[in-house]
Amino acid sequence: MMKKDFLTIRDFSQDEILGTLELATEMKAHPQNYASVLKGKTLAMIFEKPSLRTRVTFDVGIHQLGGFSVSLLPMEISLGKRESIHDVAKNLERMVQAIMIRTFSHQIVVDMARFASIPIINGLTDYSHPCQALADFLTIQEVKGDLKGLKLCFVGDGNNVAHSLMFTGARLGTHVTIACPKGYGPSPVAFQYATEDAKETGARIEVVHDPFEGVKDADVIYTDVWASMGQESEVEARKAIFHTFQVNKQLMAKAKSGAIFMHCLPAHRGDEVTDEVIDSATSVVFQEAENRLHAQKAVMVQLMK
């Protein structure tokens, strides 16, 4: 990975992404070989959104690499309110070796990267979730082998996770279908970026509005919550719109034989996915969650070493 920051998967070439996945695989197999690679290095973690996997995997990950972390919650820094993004960046660059941010507006991570001389890692924004996509494709690679030519169908809201899956699929030659209700597709800009990038690898990026059409011949079925953080007021309205997009046994049966089920978690069981699917032998959601640790450790080593 040649770049200074990790803001969106689209910033990286196919070789860089595959190299990161290869490093993550190696680190997962032989963690002891990397136990002091970031000795004495500190990661500042800024959380403006709640977190289980992001918090634990970055915290544990930096410690497993010999470094340590400082967690900063909204009431402590209040980004852009108590103190400007510029000033937070200029302070932290003198005290720590990298900053991970989990926030709402993608512009916050872009600005932080512009102002800070140290690496910025996007732990999630409303536009992009690159750490999740890396962990996802690491998981698919572990289960399915070669990524090129596989079909992934994302069923649900065309959100930040959908964007990052499209970006990664386009770079790696994995076909990505977003099956969503009309009016709930991915950002037109993100879709355009992904379709442009896909021309180089032969990946097919498409949006459909029938989940049964979307999952046809899919090797991977992926879903996420219907209302993301910040959309709590829309929960009931979205349930009415999305209920036919539930991933259940009937929908899984329309995918390719041997298709796996994925979810970035947390899952709202009974809404976007049934217990029968998420707890089935085809589900790899906890392997996927664990792989956040290994993928992010690879990112930290490449940026902070």
* Catalytic positions, written as ranges: 102, 129, 132, 224, 264, 292
Strand partners, 269: 273
- Name residue 106's beta-bridge partners: none
Tell me which amino acid residue 15 is. D
Distance CA 62, CA 85 (A): 24
106-115 burial, b if ≥16 CB within 10 A, otherwise e? bebbbbbbeb
- Evaluated on CA atoms 60, 63, 64, 67, the torsion sign reads positive
Q: Alpha carbon of 203 to those of 173, 174, 177, 199: distances in Å? A: 4, 5, 10, 7
Phi, psi of 111, deg, nearest 5: -65, -40
